[in-house]
């Protein structure tokens, strides 16, 4: 049975030694001193390891069951959800006026990593609610906000997002769900939505569905899509619950993983809905939430990699198998622990250097969300908008690969469900798909974000890398181990961008054929930058005699591994990108 311990020390290192959050002038950041963040993260970590983690395999084994229209969640989920609600964990970053705690989004992300690592399927019930509440917060009328937000902040009511239909996922312009206007200003929503996470369940008094639909007579395609609030139970004026609305779960999907979350086919049969935001501006309303939602999914990829790594590491220390090639390290035992073997270490260090670098990337992105939303910082908004598809696509691709590597450490036991490693892999797999499949993230990055605002944001990224290198070149150890490799990798990224600029205009396929490699190339440079910053922070801490020297030295060694062993992937991605579109586009579809 796997276990989970929240990496609070690592999180605090990033928050305070690297991002120096409490020194930032972003509203709310002054409160984030080390004592405060440590206390929050410790409590969240305790809940995650003691309450949520033990239910992870229960959720996987039992799954959700639909009977007579009612969905039963796995044993223990409801109790655990009550504990999460009671602790006030559901509204960490939501406004105080609706019962939230108004903490910065960066704290929501850090706390979210702990619960998602412990139990992804469970955490999604709250995560979807948070997404729906954010949409109402951003686009709802005052009445809608006061009607829904207090209950959604507390998760007494949960939320869902309804986008996909059987014949369309990415291409929502093909949508068929209809919203017919009624005399009282409401709409009758009819249609079928699929892949609706937490679409129906037994852990909340009401479920607030946000549904994309088309108002007949509106513009064709994606420009005619509007967003609606469709409550499971109608809400009376006094806030009490009324009649059941025409929204029902037709089926629960059998999935590869996240069995503890009810993935529903939702049928809307003249259900009463209320326009959220403007008519035909539904996609725009969704997109304002998109950065946060996608960063949240990137977090999931990282979280599964973290918990898988923790368990693989324990196994590698415990399991005795074979002898170190350089001489017995456990001479009194029948064999040495797995961790003496170089290839097991290579495997573990791939994981360790990814999760620690990825976490810094994730928290940096979250900080920029705060700078944008709380501080009105347009440069931060532009940069995080550029980096969001990378946070989502790169962290979930790599996160998944790392769960596969963690499983491999267990040998045959990694394939047996009882050991729990398979579940991490199966659960992590979805994050590469939902909130925009990773190919769509790559397309968004190269096709939209790169050239946005005249390429200003990618230039800002390069400036950031350059100035960090320049400021720290005097530090010889940092230069050799961190800055030089970062500079090299950053050159590859620039060359790739240049290739797109020179070729993409006359042949868009030349850019798009390299989009996936570009996303990964960019991801590695981001993690390279994070490791350079962490390397510096750790060296500073050692020099300043800040406590746990062993911790900081391990940080430096892990960073060196990333720069030496992982970052060189950038050169391969560049070569692929520069090979252009010819070999990709040459074959006719029939010739495949």
Where in 437-496 is the site for its own copies (CB under 8 A)? 437-439, 442-443, 447
Of residues 312 through 331, those in contact with its own copies by CB under 8 A are: 313, 317, 320-322, 325-326
Q: Are strands 70-72 and 241-244 parallel, antiparallel or unpaired?
A: unpaired
Tell me which of 425, 490, 503, 533 binds its own copies, using CB under 8 A: 425
Q: Which residues contact 10 (CB under 8 A, 6 or more apart)?
A: 356, 359
Residue 124 in contact with residue 139, Cβ under 8 Å? no
CB of 556 to its own copies, least distance (A): 10
- The number of CA neighbours under 13 Å toward the Cβ of 477 is 12
Q: Which residues contact 548 (CB under 8 A, 6 or more apart)?
A: none
The window from 4-12, 111-119, 382-390, 556-564 that contacts its own copies (CB under 8 A) reads 556-564
Question: In the complex with its own copies, which residue's Cβ is closer, 9 or 564?
Answer: 564
Dist CA 62 CA 275 (whole Å):
37
The window from 359-367, 459-467, 525-533, 578-586 that contacts its own copies (CB under 8 A) reads 578-586
Residue 561 in contact with residue 480, Cβ under 8 Å? no
> Considering the rule CB under 8 A, would residue 404 count as an interface residue with its own copies?
yes
Q: State yes or no: is 50 an active-site residue.
A: no
Question: Of 486, 474, 446, which is closest to residue 566 (Cα–Cα)?
Answer: 486
Residue 90 in contact with residue 128, Cβ under 8 Å? no
CA dihedral 545, 549, 553, 554 (to 10 degrees): -150
Q: What token pair was written down for 257? A: 């993983």
CB of 367 to its own copies, least distance (A): 28
Question: In the complex with its own copies, which residue's Cβ is closer, 108 or 434?
Answer: 434
Dist CA 342 CA 580 (whole Å):
37
Question: Of 258, 359, 261, which is closest to residue 305 (Cα–Cα)?
Answer: 359
> Considering the rule CB under 8 A, would residue 515 count as an interface residue with its own copies?
yes
> Considering the rule CB under 8 A, would residue 35 count as an interface residue with its own copies?
no
Question: In the complex with its own copies, which residue's Cβ is closer, 5 or 408?
Answer: 408
Of residues 136 through 165, those in contact with its own copies by CB under 8 A are: 164
Question: In the complex with its own copies, which residue's Cβ is closer, 275 or 483?
Answer: 483
Burial state string for 492-503 with b = 16 or more CB within 10 A and e = fewer than 16: bbebbbebbeeb
Question: Of 6, 52, 124, 58, which is closest to residue 420 (Cα–Cα)?
Answer: 58
Tell me which of 174, 480, 501, 505 binds its own copies, using CB under 8 A: 174
Residue 389 in contact with residue 444, Cβ under 8 Å? yes
Tell me which of 52, 276, 340, 496 binds its own copies, using CB under 8 A: 340
CA distances to 300, 397, 430 from 437, rounded to whole Å, are 14, 10, 9
CB of 426 to its own copies, least distance (A): 7
Question: In the complex with its own copies, which residue's Cβ is closer, 114 or 164?
Answer: 164
The window from 92-100, 287-295, 493-501, 551-559 that contacts its own copies (CB under 8 A) reads 551-559
Residue 187 in contact with residue 179, Cβ under 8 Å? yes
CB of 292 to its own copies, least distance (A): 20
Dist CA 366 CA 368 (whole Å):
5
The window from 89-97, 292-300, 531-539, 557-565 that contacts its own copies (CB under 8 A) reads 557-565
CB of 103 to its own copies, least distance (A): 31
The window from 149-157, 279-287, 345-353, 359-367 that contacts its own copies (CB under 8 A) reads 345-353
Q: Which residues contact 263 (CB under 8 A, 6 or more apart)?
A: 195, 196, 197, 199, 252, 253, 255
Question: In the complex with its own copies, which residue's Cβ is closer, 368 or 428?
Answer: 428
Question: Of 264, 266, 271, which is closest to residue 230 (Cα–Cα)?
Answer: 271
Question: In the complex with its own copies, which residue's Cβ is closer, 257 or 365?
Answer: 257
Tell me which of 170, 236, 288, 452 binds its own copies, using CB under 8 A: 170
Tell me which of 188, 255, 280, 491 binds its own copies, using CB under 8 A: 255
Tell me which of 72, 178, 345, 374 binds its own copies, using CB under 8 A: 345
> Considering the rule CB under 8 A, would residue 86 count as an interface residue with its own copies?
no
Dist CA 504 CA 520 (whole Å):
19
CB of 116 to its own copies, least distance (A): 17
CB of 521 to its own copies, least distance (A): 12
CB of 503 to its own copies, least distance (A): 12
Tell me which of 187, 482, 516, 552 binds its own copies, using CB under 8 A: 516
Tell me which of 37, 407, 490, 533 binds its own copies, using CB under 8 A: 407
Q: Which member of 279, 435, 471, 543 is catalytic?
A: 435
Question: In the complex with its own copies, which residue's Cβ is closer, 146 or 170?
Answer: 170
> Considering the rule CB under 8 A, would residue 39 count as an interface residue with its own copies?
no
* 3-state DSSP assignment of residue 166: coil
Question: In the complex with its own copies, which residue's Cβ is closer, 164 or 186?
Answer: 164
> Considering the rule CB under 8 A, would residue 171 count as an interface residue with its own copies?
yes
Question: In the complex with its own copies, which residue's Cβ is closer, 250 or 568?
Answer: 568
Question: Of 198, 205, 224, 202, which is closest to residue 213 (Cα–Cα)?
Answer: 224
Dist CA 263 CA 273 (whole Å):
21
In three-state form (DSSP H/G/I as H, E/B as E, the rest C), the secondary structure along 268-294 is EEEEEEEECCCCCCHHHHHHHHHHHHH
Question: In the complex with its own copies, which residue's Cβ is closer, 39 or 505?
Answer: 505
Count of residues in contact with its own copies, rule CB under 8 A: 92
The window from 116-124, 177-185, 529-537, 555-563 that contacts its own copies (CB under 8 A) reads 555-563
Binding mask 91-120 for its own copies (x = CB under 8 A): ------------------------------
Mark out the alpha helices in 90-249 (DSSP H runs). Answer: 105-118, 120-139, 142-153
Catalytically active residues, by annotation: 435
């Amino acid at each position: 049975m796997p276990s989970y311990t929240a990496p609070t020390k690592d999180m605090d290192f990033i928050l305070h030694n690297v991002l120096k959050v409490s020194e930032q002038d972003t509203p709310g950041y002054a409160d984030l001193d080390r004592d405060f963040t440590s206390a929050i993260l410790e409590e969240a970590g305790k809940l995650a390891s003691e309450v949520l983690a033990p239910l992870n395999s229960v959720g996987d084994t039992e799954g959700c069951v639909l009977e007579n229209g009612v969905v039963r969640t796995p044993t223990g989920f409801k109790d655990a959800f009550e504990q999460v609600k009671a602790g006030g964990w559901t509204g960490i970053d939501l406004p105080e006026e609706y019962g939230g705690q108004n903490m910065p989004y960066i704290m929501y992300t850090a706390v979210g990593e702990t619960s998602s690592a412990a139990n992804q399927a469970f955490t999604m019930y709250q995560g979807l609610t948070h997404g729906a509440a954010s949409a109402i917060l951003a686009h709802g009328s005052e009445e809608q906000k006061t009607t829904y937000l207090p209950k959604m902040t507390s998760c007494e009511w949960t939320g869902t997002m309804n986008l996909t239909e059987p014949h369309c996922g990415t291409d929502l312009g093909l949508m068929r769900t209809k919203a017919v206007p009624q005399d009282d200003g409401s709409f009758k929503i009819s249609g079928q939505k699929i892949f609706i996470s937490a679409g129906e369940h037994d852990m909340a008094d009401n479920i607030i569905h946000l549904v994309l639909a088309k108002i007949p007579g509106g513009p064709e395609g994606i420009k005619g899509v509007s967003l609606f609030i469709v409550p499971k139970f109608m809400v009376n004026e006094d806030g009490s619950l009324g009649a059941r609305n025409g929204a029902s779960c037709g089926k629960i999907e059998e999935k590869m993983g996240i069995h503890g979350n009810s993935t529903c086919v939702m049928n809307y049969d003249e259900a009463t809905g209320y326009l959220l935001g403007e008519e035909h501006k539904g996609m725009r309303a969704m997109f304002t939430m998109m950065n946060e939602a996608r960063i949240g999914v990137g977090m999931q990829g990282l979280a599964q990699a973290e918990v898988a790594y923790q368990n693989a590491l324990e196994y590698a220390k415990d399991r005795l198998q074979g002898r170190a090639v350089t001489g017995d390290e456990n001479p009194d035992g029948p064999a040495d622990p797995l961790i003496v073997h170089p290839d097991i270490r290579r495997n573990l260090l791939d994981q360790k250097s990814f999760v620690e670098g990825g976490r810094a990337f994730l928290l940096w992105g979250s900080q920029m969300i705060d700078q944008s939303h709380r501080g009105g910082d347009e440069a931060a908004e532009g940069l995080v908008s550029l980096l969001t598809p990378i946070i989502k696509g790169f962290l979930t691709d790599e996160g998944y690969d790392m769960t596969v590597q963690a499983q491999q450490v267990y040998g045959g036991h990694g394939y047996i469900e009882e050991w729990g490693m398979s579940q991490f892999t199966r659960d992590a797999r979805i994050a590469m798909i939902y909130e925009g499949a990773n190919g769509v993230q790559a397309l968004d990055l190269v096709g939209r974000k790169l050239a946005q605002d005249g390429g200003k944001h990618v230039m800002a990224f390069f400036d950031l890398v350059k100035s960090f290198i320049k400021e720290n070149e005097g530090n010889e150890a940092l230069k050799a181990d961190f800055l030089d490799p970062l500079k090299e990798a950053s050159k590859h990224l620039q060359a790739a961008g240049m290739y797109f600029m020179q070729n993409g205009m006359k042949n868009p396929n030349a850019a798009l054929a390299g989009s996936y490699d570009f996303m990964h190339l960019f991801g590695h440079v981001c993690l390279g930058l994070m490791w350079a910053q962490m390397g510096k922070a750790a060296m500073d801490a050692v020099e300043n005699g800040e406590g746990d020297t062993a911790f900081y030295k391990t940080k430096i060694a892990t960073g060196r591994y990333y720069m030496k062993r992982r970052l060189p992937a950038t050169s391969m991605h560049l070569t692929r990108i520069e090979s252009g579109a010819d070999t990709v586009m040459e074959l006719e579809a029939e010739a495949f």
